[in-house]
């Protein structure tokens, strides 16, 4: 090749690189800055008695292994951050999915000025919310004494900057939290290493190995313990209950701190620290990367046409919908995934996810995640089966090992839903065998680990009361889970398991009493238990008969038949909103927070603050009156959600409450996970563009949408008239346009045919 040709090729290659660079740059610049709408303090004004979300100001990237939060509560307190608090006592690594479960693997850092104080009460510093910034990619607070703390996250690490006033000694205190901890101070390398092993549901072999790397030299150092707050100046290492460390710097310093931890080893923590933060010279580098990561995700669900308040609520909910489950796997030097198993305490290759209670999330968070993150979901489904092999049971609520929290065996819902939506990364026969073991045994942990009275369930067709508290709720959820087992077996041609689970999926009929018109507690001899629809507890879990009567996700047509037809069914739903919000404590004996939240909602017996009834409004679609779904969905979104510290109508629950809002604001909801349908509601925005993982775009246009124009007058899907009250998962993933014409008057001739109704088992 002559020199001229070489020169021409070189110029062409250079031009192509420039064009590609311009294209990439334009794509990045074309992204809207949606992070600015996210308020991580949404839902933080919560207490044991009343939940406006029971959240904390999570500083994390999407689906992290570790998150970080300011700490206002005492060590071990599930309410780690309360909006009403006036002091902060630390900045902690957190994995907490619910205050009712608690945290694990926690340690914290806290800047101290002047006299060295280490105890959590004494070192706490006062602050004001106007001096606080809570964003997904960046948290900042300026304390009243002049110290500023900033932090930005990566998947498994965090980047701090502590800025001290020009006068006064400057310290950073490491608190080992509860249980055992170990610290080693390395002044030469400006580093602290160690481990903690705290947590209520961690195996005894569990250790969270941390590395804390400072960029400034220590002028003094020592250890301490949080049992008596005694310090040992100059000591380089210590181990024991509540052991911590402190380091001192010159006055007026700005010190950057890079922190990571590993469940495998210190060596792996160092690998992670180098991979995730090694190239970040300053906090601004980490902050920019985290902001870009969030903006990339948030731009995948681009909504238009709402107020600033609407945008804040939506994207704050989008943020929380994309945090759980947490990654529990790490990456070797060559990038391959592996993990310490919280189930058998061994090291395994592959992926693992934890920190999720499926009772809270199978209804909304997983159906949303199947749209946005099918690759991750595929890995997750295999991880469920790996967990089952390691501990003998499918997870129901992991934190990080199995707790058995709540009721139902909803891992099968996740597996069936994934398969129905084309996410087929696991062996369905293995999944069915694992579920059969779950459905025909009782495990050693809580109510959702196997089944209480499983023999009675098979023999008499329901869980008897009072032999099991929550019996009617259990029967309903087991029947749905058995449908999911049946559905997975049917989709995969497994006649054996299809026949087994097909016999139980109609068991919901056995706890419906037509004489009272509700699902009701039933005694082992077949007679009905005492009944008051306003009474909480007893045969219901965190609710009453008004809430649980609708828990027939898989066969709404069958439920309609039990109630006497469409008109009576619709009237029954109507009455949920019109009856008084009377509360009777029942077997709880006191007012639990879910009761107060229903009372404050002022929507009769409708209790959006807890999961059992959250799908009910969508059931109007199954009875020929979809306009009532459209009206009430908008009422709930407008009245019960906002982007403030009082942002949720109850516990947010690992993205469950947020995902309900995100899906509903888009105008869709998955009433029956395990099928490929999303039922239509009434979108909050005039336009929403969902960019799928495969690059396709699904657009939902709601012309003339407004606060008053909540009713769908007509609809078309990809240019074709669409009268059905649902769309399919493939409609979304294939890309296309759902166009809705909105009105302030209900259109009572649209979506009323039997063929327009969503899936019900009885009509198939």
Structure tokens at 311: 């945008």
* Whole-number Å distance between alpha carbons of 373 and 710: 30
7: pLDDT strictly greater than 90:
no
With 50 as the cut, is the pLDDT of residue 19 above it?
no
Q: What per-residue confidence (pLDDT) applies to 5? A: 45
- Check whether 170 has a pLDDT greater than 50: yes
- Cβ–Cβ under 8 Å, residues 675 and 356: no
Give the DSSP per-residue string, 220-289: EEEEEETTT--EEET--EEEEETEEEEEEE-TT-EEEEEEEEESS-HHHHHHHHHHHHTT--SHHHHHHH
**What global pTM score does this model have?**
0.96
- Confirm if 221 and 187 have CB atoms less than 8 A apart: yes
Distance between CA atoms of residues 635 and 625, nearest Å: 17
Share of the chain above pLDDT 90, in %: 96
Q: What average pLDDT does the segment 272-301 reach?
A: 98
Q: Does the pLDDT value for residue 430 go beyond 70?
A: yes
Task: Please identify which residue in the block is written with the tokens 């020929």.
Answer: 624
Handedness of CA 17, 23, 28, 29 (dihedral sign): positive
Rounded Cα distance between 494 and 486, Å, is 9
**Is residue 18 predicted with pLDDT exceeding 50?**
no
- Mean of pLDDT values over 13-41: 65
Instruction: Output the average pLDDT for the chain.
Output: 96
Higher pLDDT, 3 or 340: 340
| For residues 206-219, average pLDDT | 98
Query: Is residue 756 pLDDT above 50, yes or no?
Result: yes
> Contact 343/353 with Cβ under 8 angstroms?
no
* pLDDT tier, 12 (very low <50, low <70, confident <90, very high otherwise): very low
Place of tokens 């997750």: 380
What pLDDT is stored for residue 763 in this prediction? 79
Cα–Cα distance measured from residue 291 to residue 6, given in angstroms and rounded to the nearest whole number? 42
With contact defined as beta carbons under 8 Å apart, do 413 and 485 qualify?
Answer: no
pLDDT for the residue numbered 2: 47
Question: Is residue 3's pLDDT more than 50?
Answer: no
pLDDT in tens, 223-265: 999 999 999 999 999 999 999 999 999 999 999 999 999 999 9
- Contact at 8 Å (CB) between 681 and 731? no
Tell me whether residue 475 is exposed, middle or buried, using C-beta atoms within 10 angstroms of its C-beta: 0 to 12, 13 to 18, 19 or more: buried
The length of the chain is: 764
pLDDT at 639 over 80: yes
Q: Is the pLDDT of residue 88 over 70?
A: yes
| CATH code of the domain made up of 302-763 | 1.20.1610.10
The whole-number average pLDDT for the span 109-125 is 98
Q: Where are the domains of the chain?
A: 35-298, 302-763
Mean pLDDT of 603-626: 98
pLDDT (0 to 100) of residue 21: 45
3-class secondary-structure state, position 157: strand
Please check the confidence at residue 151 and state whether its pLDDT lies above 90: yes
In this prediction, residue 20 has a pLDDT band, given cuts at 50, 70 and 90, of very low
Classify domain 35-298 at the CATH topology level.
Beta-galactosidase; Chain A, domain 5 (2.70.98)
Burial class (CB in 10 A: 0-12, 13-18, 19+), 121: exposed
User: pLDDT digits over 520-543, tens only?
Assistant: 999 999 999 999 999 999 999 999
In this predicted structure, the answer to whether residue 99 has a pLDDT above a threshold of 80 is yes
Q: Is the confidence at residue 764, as pLDDT, over 60?
A: no
pLDDT above 70: residue 438: yes
User: Are 229 and 118 spatial neighbours (Cβ–Cβ below 8 Å)?
Assistant: yes
733 secondary structure, DSSP code: H
* Percent of the chain residues past pLDDT 70, beyond the cut: 96
**490 pLDDT exceeds 50?**
yes
**Of 14-28, 88-102, 243-257, 457-471, where does mean pLDDT reach its minimum?**
14-28
pLDDT value of position 576: 98
Tokens at 45, concatenated = 């004004």
2 φ, ψ to 5°? -80, 170
Please say if the pLDDT value at position 361 is more than 60: yes
Q: Which helix (H) or strand (E) holds 432?
A: helix 428-439
For residue 517, give the nearest of 543, 495, 550 by alpha carbon.
Answer: 550
Work out the pLDDT band at 30, boundaries 50, 70, 90. Answer: confident
pLDDT score at 27: 46
pLDDT at 33 over 90: yes
Considering only CA atoms, which of 482, 474, 360, 484 is closest in space to residue 414? 484
Confidence of residue 377 (pLDDT cuts 50, 70, 90): very high
Q: Find tokens 């947020």 and name the residue.
A: 658
């Amino acid at each position: 090749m002559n020199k001229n040709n070489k020169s021409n090729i070189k110029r062409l290659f250079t031009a192509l690189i420039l064009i590609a660079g311009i294209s990439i740059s334009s794509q990045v610049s074309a992204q809207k800055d949606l992070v600015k709408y996210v308020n991580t303090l949404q839902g933080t004004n919560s207490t044991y008695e009343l939940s406006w979300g029971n959240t904390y100001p999570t500083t994390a990237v999407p689906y992290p292994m570790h998150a970080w939060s300011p700490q206002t509560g005492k060590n071990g307190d599930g309410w780690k951050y309360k909006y009403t608090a006036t002091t902060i006592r630390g900045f902690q690594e957190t994995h907490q999915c619910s205050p009712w479960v608690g945290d694990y693997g926690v340690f914290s850092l806290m800047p101290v000025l002047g006299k060295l104080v280490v105890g959590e009460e004494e070192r706490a510093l006062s602050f004001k919310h106007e001096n606080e910034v809570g964003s997904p990619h960046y948290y900042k607070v300026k304390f009243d004494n002049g110290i500023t703390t900033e932090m930005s996250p990566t998947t498994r690490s965090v980047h701090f900057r502590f800025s001290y006033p020009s006068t006064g000694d400057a310290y950073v205190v490491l608190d080992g939290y509860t249980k055992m901890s170990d610290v080693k101070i390395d002044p030469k390398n400006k580093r602290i290493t160690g481990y903690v092993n705290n947590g209520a549901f961690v195996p005894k072999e569990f250790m969270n190995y941390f590395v804390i790397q400072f960029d400034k030299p220590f002028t003094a150092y020592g250890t301490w313990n949080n049992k008596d707050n005694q310090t040992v100046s100059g000591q380089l290492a210590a181990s024991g209950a509540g052991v911590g460390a402190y380091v001192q710097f010159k006055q007026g310093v700005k010190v950057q701190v890079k922190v990571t931890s590993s469940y495998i080893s210190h060596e792996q923590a160092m690998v992670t620290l180098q991979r995730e933060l090694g190239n970040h010279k300053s906090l601004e580098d980490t902050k920019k990367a985290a902001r870009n990561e969030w903006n990339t995700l948030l731009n995948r669900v681009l909504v238009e046409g709402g107020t600033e308040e609407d945008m804040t609520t939506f994207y704050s909910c989008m943020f929380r919908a994309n945090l759980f489950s947490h990654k529990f796997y790490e990456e070797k030097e060559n990038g391959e995934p592996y993990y310490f198993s919280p189930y058998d305490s061994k090291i395994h290759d592959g992926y693992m996810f934890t920190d999720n209670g499926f009772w809270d999330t199978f209804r909304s968070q997983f159906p949303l995640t199947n749209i946005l993150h099918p690759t991750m979901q595929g890995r997750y489904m295999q991880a469920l089966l790996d967990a089952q092999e390691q501990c003998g049971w499918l997870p129901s609520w992991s934190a990080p090992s199995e707790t058995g929290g709540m009721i139902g065996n909803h891992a099968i819902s996740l597996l069936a839903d994934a398969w129905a939506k084309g996410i087929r990364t696991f062996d369905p026969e293995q999944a069915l065998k694992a579920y059969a073991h779950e459905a025909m045994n009782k495990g050693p942990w809580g109510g959702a680990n196997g089944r209480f009275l499983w023999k009675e369930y098979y023999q008499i067709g329901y869980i008897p009361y009072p032999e099991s508290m929550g019996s009617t709720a259990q029967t309903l959820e087991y029947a749905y889970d058995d449908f999911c087992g049946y559905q997975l077996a049917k989709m995969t041609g497994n006649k054996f398991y299809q026949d087994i689970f097909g016999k139980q999926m109609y068991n919901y009929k056995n706890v419906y009493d037509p004489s009272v018109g509700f699902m009701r507690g039933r005694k082992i001899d077949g007679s009905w238990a005492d009944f008051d629809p306003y009474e909480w507890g007893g045969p219901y879990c965190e609710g009453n008969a008004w809430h649980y009567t609708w828990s027939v996700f898989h066969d709404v047509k069958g439920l309609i038949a039990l109630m006497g037809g469409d008109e009576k069914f619709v009237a029954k739903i109507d009455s949920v909103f019109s009856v008084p919000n009377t509360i009777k404590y029942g077997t709880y004996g006191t007012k639990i927070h879910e009761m107060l939240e229903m009372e404050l909602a002022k929507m009769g017996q409708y209790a959006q603050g807890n999961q059992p009834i959250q799908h009910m409004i969508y059931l109007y679609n199954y009875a020929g009156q979809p306009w009532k779904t459209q009206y009430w969905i908008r009422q709930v979104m407008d009245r019960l959600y906002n982007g403030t510290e009082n942002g949720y109508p109850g516990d947010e629950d690992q993205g469950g409450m947020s995902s309900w809002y995100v899906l509903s604001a888009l105008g869709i909801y998955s009433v029956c996970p395990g099928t490929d349908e999303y039922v239509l509601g009434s979108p909050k925005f005039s336009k929403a563009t969902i960019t799928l993982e495969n690059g396709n775009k699904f657009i939902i246009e709601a012309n003339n949408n407004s606060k008053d124009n909540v009713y769908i007058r007509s609809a078309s899907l990809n240019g074709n008239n669409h009268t059905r009250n649902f769309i399919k998962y493939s409609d979304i993933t294939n890309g296309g346009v759902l166009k809705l014409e909105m009105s302030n008057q209900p259109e009572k001739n649209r979506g009323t045919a039997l063929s327009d109704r969503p899936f019900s088992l009885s009509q198939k």
